[in-house]
Amino acid sequence: MSIAIQIIGLIASLSLLVFVHELGHYTFARIFHTRVDKFYLFFNPGFSLLRAKKFDGKWHFSFFSAESPTSFDEHPESTEWGIGWLPLGGYCAINGMVDETTSADQLAAEVQPWEFRAKPAWQRLFIIIGGVLVNFIVGILIYIGIMFHWGKEYIPVENAKYGFHFSEAAQNAGFQNGDKVLLVNGQKPETLGDITMDMLLDNDVTVRVLRGSREVDVVVPDDFGKQVLAEGSSSFCIFDFPFVIDSIIPNHYADKAGLQKHDSLVAVNDSTMNSFFDFKAVFEQYKGKDLMLSYYRNDSLEKRVVHISDDGLIGVAPVYYDGFLDTKKVDYTFFEAIPAGAQYGFSVLGNYVKQFKLVFSKEGAKQMGGFGTIGGLFPKSWDWHSFWSITALLSLILAFMNFLPIPMLDGGYILFILIEMITRRKPSDKFIGYANYVGLAIVFALLIYANGMDIYRAFFK
């Protein structure tokens, strides 16, 4: 059921974003009196779940049809609206435009005034840019809505009283578990995201940490982002916290050993440990063996021998760091939420653009993912805050990705139109068609590779 919730979240989010993206193209096309032949949510190879068209003053519908009814074809001036059966996107077929739905050979020899190709370059530019523009606006509006409805709650870096736990790449760079981050390039970070983004994406980064009672400067290598990607860790820096049991699986090893909820683990085989992650590492090392665990229960120190499963687990769930560290909550009025949401959205987009350079590295290519990776972003139980946060992020990503100057994507058309506006020479429809074939091959290759990596990680890692 949890996977089904993630799939529903993925389809609902992408459906909304595809719809508003294509609606951006449609809106500008209609503003400039350009016909739109079809507007479809989801692709419809072979047949459509729904076809609808308004003519003669009323709406006409066709369900589960393989082709448009004859009456639909007799009214080409109206847009056919539809829902396909393949939930991998959608399209807006603009009359007189060479795209994935229409080749240059399918266009009439004589240009008609309602066609896309008949419009001046500046109007065509707005029609193409409409999808990217609407996705960007929608992303910002969602963040504004999130700020207004939920506000912003986070754990300030200064509240990390147990310090941070670092991945192997971070430890190789000079960090030690338990370090408390004070400054990043001389600036006091407010959130964990401030630390990670600066360290991953910027060069010449120096981090000042409090290690025990002394301050130490750690100089982060310029290729640190690639090192983190290469090790495949989900996070190179996370709030540290002690190991306190929150719940116990009945009849599992911890339950059989007599451990209880609220027990606070402090040692393994009389070796003192202060971090949940230290216990986790030891459990991984002693899979299938017995360990003596020391813990406090009601201020009394006790010991139990507990068997470690072959998966490195004892059958408990810990109280996570948010149960130990104080959060900061900021609420916004409607008018305060507007600049706060916009600023946050611009920050998210800026960080994503910075991260994009890592995709072209060997380490970044190995971490690429498709629909499985995107679906994994959604929680396994429905949560509206998470849904809208992820949808806002995907909306900004979709806007940026479509802006890339790759033929078939919006950015490719924008590039051709800008060249036309500068040189006063319009590329031929056949040239654009051939370029789209190249772009289509690139996009499909990326989709196959990204989703293939998802499959590989699911079955072989």
Stretch 186-193: mean pLDDT, rounded?
Answer: 90
pLDDT at 363: 64
- Ranking 31-40, 101-110, 135-144, 159-168 by mean pLDDT, the lowest is 101-110
**CA-to-CA distance for 11 and 18, rounded, in angstroms?**
10
- Dihedral (CA of 360, 366, 367, 370) sign: positive
Q: For residues 140 and 407, which has the higher predicted lDDT (pLDDT)?
A: 140
In the chain, the percentage of residues whose pLDDT exceeds 70 is 97
Tell me if 220 sits within 8 A of 245, measured CB to CB. no
DSSP 357: G
DSSP 114: T
Q: For residues 406 and 145, which has the higher predicted lDDT (pLDDT)?
A: 145
**CA-to-CA distance for 68 and 73, rounded, in angstroms?**
7
Instruction: Please check the confidence at residue 246 and state whether its pLDDT lies above 70.
Output: yes
pLDDT at 380: 83
* CATH class of domain segment(s) 243-318: mainly beta
* CATH class of domain segment(s) 157-238: mainly beta
φ and ψ at residue 411, rounded to 5 degrees = -60, -35
DSSP letters, 425-440, are -PPPHHHHHHHHHHHH
Nearest residue to 390 (alpha-carbon basis) of 368, 373, 369 = 373
pLDDT at 384: 94
Nearest residue to 143 (alpha-carbon basis) of 383, 381, 392 = 392
pLDDT at 97: 86
Say what angle helices 2-31 and 121-149 make with each other, to 10 degrees: 140
How many C-alpha atoms does 106 have within 13 Å on its Cβ side?
13
Q: Which tens digit of pLDDT belongs to each residue from 269-326? A: 989 999 999 999 999 999 999 999 999 999 899 999 999 999 999 999 999 999 999 9
Stretch 405-413: mean pLDDT, rounded?
Answer: 89
**CA-to-CA distance for 261 and 272, rounded, in angstroms?**
20
Separation in Å, CA 88 to CA 37, 45, 231:
20, 12, 31
pLDDT at 461: 61
**CA-to-CA distance for 139 and 352, rounded, in angstroms?**
13
Using alpha carbons only, how large is the chain's radius of gyration in Å? 28
DSSP letters, 366-415, are HT---HHHHHTTS-SS--HHHHHHHHHHHHHHHHHHHHS--TTSHHHHHH
Residue 129 banded pLDDT, cuts 50, 70, 90: very high
**The two structure tokens encoding residue 168:** 């192997």
**What residues form DSSP beta bridges with 216?**
209
Q: Which tens digit of pLDDT belongs to each residue from 25-48? A: 999 999 999 999 999 999 998 899
Tell me if 245 sits within 8 A of 263, measured CB to CB. yes
Residue 365 banded pLDDT, cuts 50, 70, 90: low
**CA-to-CA distance for 258 and 234, rounded, in angstroms?**
33
**CA-to-CA distance for 287 and 314, rounded, in angstroms?**
10
pLDDT at 364: 66
Nearest residue to 62 (alpha-carbon basis) of 86, 80, 87 = 80
Tell me if 375 sits within 8 A of 6, measured CB to CB. yes
pLDDT at 310: 92
Separation in Å, CA 195 to CA 162, 180, 203, 260:
16, 11, 13, 36
Q: Which tens digit of pLDDT belongs to each residue from 93-111? A: 999 888 777 777 777 778 8
**CA-to-CA distance for 434 and 439, rounded, in angstroms?**
9
Q: Which tens digit of pLDDT belongs to each residue from 58-68? A: 999 999 998 88
Residue 435 banded pLDDT, cuts 50, 70, 90: confident
pLDDT at 160: 94
pLDDT at 279: 94
Tokens 């003596």 found at:
292
What residues does CATH 2.30.42.10 cover in the chain?
A: 157-238, 243-318
Which residues of 118-268 form beta strands (DSSP E)? 152-154, 164-166, 180-184, 205-211, 214-220, 237-239, 243-248, 264-268
Amino acid at 38: K
In the chain, the percentage of residues whose pLDDT exceeds 90 is 61
Tell me if 14 sits within 8 A of 394, measured CB to CB. yes
